[in-house]
Structure 1
Amino acid sequence: MTETYDLKLGPLTRKLPLIPINDQVTIASFVLLGDAELTHYAAEQLAKRVADVDFDYIVTIESKGIPLAQELSWLTHHDRYIVLRKSEKDYMVDPIDMPVSSITTSADQKLVLDGTDAKLLAGKRVLIVDDVISSGGSIETAHQLLDQVGAKVVKQLAILAEGDAADREDIHFLGKLPLF
C-alpha cells in the first residue's frame, strides 16, 4: 500500500501518493489533470486574487497547468491563453526555446514558445499560471522566455507551493505542499 498525504484545499481533500524522486526527496504527487472539481475551485480562488490586476494573457507551462489556464481564462473573460510547450512541434512558426530544469523530470527539458504566440505577447501584460511551483526552475525559465519576447509578467500564480517555494514572495498560491 502506497503511503499518502492528505492535501486540503478549501473544502476539498485529496489523497496524494508519496513518490520518491531520489534518495533524499519524496514528493506528494499532485496531478491536476482530470480533476475537474479541484481545477474549477482553484481557478475560482485564483480569479479572486487577480480581479484587480490588468492583464492581457494567461501563460501556462505544459501540461498540468493547461486545465487551470483554461478555466482561469474563462472565469476572467480572456478568450485566449498561451501554452509554453516542452518540445517543438511541426506546426510551430519560428519557435523560441530555452532549457529548463525541474524537480519532477530527470531528463533534459526545454520550454518552447511558438513564434506566432511570441508576436501576440510582445508588449503585453501576462500572468504565469502553473499547478505546482517547487524549485521554481520552470517558472523562472518561463519568465525569462517572456522577457525575451517583450512581455511583462505582472503576477505568478500556482495552486500549490512545494517545499521552499512556500517562502517566496514573488508567487501567489492557494496552499503549501511539503517535501518529505
Structure 2
Amino acid sequence: MTAKRPGSPVTTQTWPVDVAGLSVDLPIVAIKPDFGISLMMVIDLGVRFGEHVGRALAEKLAPLEPEVIVGAATLGIPVAIEVSRAMGLDRYVILQKSPKIHLSDALVQPITSITSKGEQRLLLDQDAVPLLAGKRVVVVDDVIASGSSLKGSVELVRRAGGRVVGIGVILTEAREWEAVLGDDAKLVQHLAHIPQFTSDGATWTAIPETF
C-alpha cells in the first residue's frame, strides 16, 4: 500500500462509483493495515456534485412528502441544504457535533463513527424542536457505514417529536448498518453502494458481501 504523502492513510488506489449517473473515483483509505474504506468528502467534490446528488435524492424522497429535512454536521450539512433546495423547502435542521454557546440546554444523543475516533455527541438546539414536533421528517447524510450516526440522528428527531418517514444517503457502505438500524433500515434510500476493502500488503480488494 502506497500513501499519497508520508504518514497518510490515503492510498494511491481508488474505487470508481456511479452516483446517479455521475462517475466519481474515491480514494481508498487504510483504517487498519488490512482494512480500508473508500472515502467520499462531499464538501470537496464541488457545487455541481452537491446540486446533482441533492436533486437525485429529492426525486427519491419526494413521494414521502417530508416537511423538514434533517442533517448532521459536518458532511450531512451540504446534503441537507441541497435536498431541501431541490424539494422547495426553506427550513432545514442541522444536528451539531461540537458544543456552542447556544447549545448549553440542547437535546444530546451519543454516537460513534467509522471515520472518527471515540464517542461523539449529536446536539439538537432546543429552538429547533418546534420545527420537528409533529412533522414528517427525512434524515439525510453523505454515507451510512456503521449506522450509528444515522441511528442517533433518527432517535434524536423522534425525541423531539418528529415523525421520521425516510432516510436519504448518497452512499451505503457494506452491510453493518442494516443490523444497527433494525426496522429503520427499510427507510433508507440511496444513490450508490460501496464495499469495504482488505489488503494483502500491496493491493486493496473489495470484501465480498452477502445480499
TM-score, normalised to structure 2, is 0.80
For 2:21 and 2:190, locate their aligned partners in 1 and report how far apart those are by CA, in whole Å. 16
* Pair 1:102 & 2:119 matched: no
1:171 has 2:188 as partner:
yes
Aligned to 1:130: 141
- Cα 1:165–1:47, aligned 2, differ >3 Å: closer, same or farther? farther
Match of 2:150 among 136, 139, 152: 139
Cα distance change of structure 1 residues 12 and 127 upon mapping to structure 2, 3 Å threshold:
same
Q: Is the 8 A contact 2:19 2:170 kept in 1?
A: no
Cα 1:39–1:165 shift into 2, 3 Å: farther
Say whether the 8 Å CA contact 2:61–2:189 is kept in structure 1: no
Question: Any conservation in 1 of the 2:61–2:168 contact (CA below 8 Å)?
Answer: no
Q: Which runs of 5+ in 1 are unaligned?
A: none
C-alpha spacing 1:10/1:49, structure 2 compared with 1 (3 Å): closer
1:133 touches 1:165 (CA, 8 Å); kept in 2? Answer: no
Q: 2:28 aligns with which of 9, 12, 18?
A: 18
1:69 aligned counterpart, secondary structure = helix
How far apart, CA to CA, are the structure 2 residues paired with 1:144 and 1:122?
A: 13
- Provide the residue aligned with 1:82 in structure 2: 93
Offset of 1:91 from its aligned partner? 2.3
Aligned positions of 1:14-163 closer than 5 A: 14-34=24-44, 35-92=46-103, 94-163=105-174
**Alpha-carbon separation, structure 2, partners of 1:70 and 1:41:** 12
Residue 17 (structure 2) pairs with residue 7 (structure 1): yes
Any idea what SS the aligned residue of 2:94 has? strand
- Structure 1 window deviating more from structure 2 (113-122 vs 160-169): it is 160-169
Q: Which has the larger radius of gyration?
A: 2
Worse-matched range after superposition: 7-16 or 118-127: 7-16
Which residue identity is paired with 2:18? K
The structure with more helix, counted as a fraction of residues: 2
Letter in 2 for 1:61: A
Q: More displaced, 123-132 or 163-172?
A: 163-172
Q: Deviation above 6 Å: which 4+ runs of structure 1?
A: none
- Give the Å deviation of 1:93: 6.1
Q: How many residue pairs are counted as aligned between the two chains? A: 180
Q: TM-score by structure 1 length?
A: 0.93
TM superposition shift of 1:32: 0.3
| Residues 136 and 162, structure 2, Cα contact 8 Å, conserved in 1 | yes
**How far 1:82 moved relative to its partner?**
0.5
